[in-house]
């Protein structure tokens, strides 16, 4: 999955509070990732992996 697609899923999950299983920590983490991506147009492999794991759990993405 491309970083831009991952960020789009993160924005959808956090902005619309679509997934009640997201914890407050996860929402803050995803918002920080979104902000970092917008600033630098890049996220680290560790950030990408952590974001993917969160979204995989709550959004059931593959």
Query: Tens digit of pLDDT for each residue in 2-34?
Result: 778 888 888 877 765 677 788 889 888 988 998
CA distances from 38 to 20, 21, 41, 42, 43 (A): 25, 25, 5, 8, 10
CA–CA gap between residue 61 and residue 58 (Å, rounded): 8
More confident residue, 45 or 17: 45
Indicate whether 60 pLDDT > 60: yes
Confidence tier at 46 by pLDDT (50, 70, 90): very high
> Alpha helix (H) ranges present in the chain?
3-15, 24-40, 45-59
3-state secondary structure of 62: coil
Indicate whether 62 pLDDT > 80: no
CA–CA gap between residue 36 and residue 62 (Å, rounded): 23
Residue 17 is predicted with a pLDDT of: 67
Query: The pTM is what?
Result: 0.75
């Amino acid at each position: 999955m491309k970083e831009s697609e991952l960020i789009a899923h993160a924005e959808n999950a956090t902005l619309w509070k679509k997934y009640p299983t997201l914890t407050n920590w996860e929402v803050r983490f995803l918002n920080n990732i979104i902000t970092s991506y917008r600033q630098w147009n890049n996220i680290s492999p560790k950030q990408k992996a952590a974001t993917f794991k969160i979204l995989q759990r709550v959004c059931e993405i593959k």
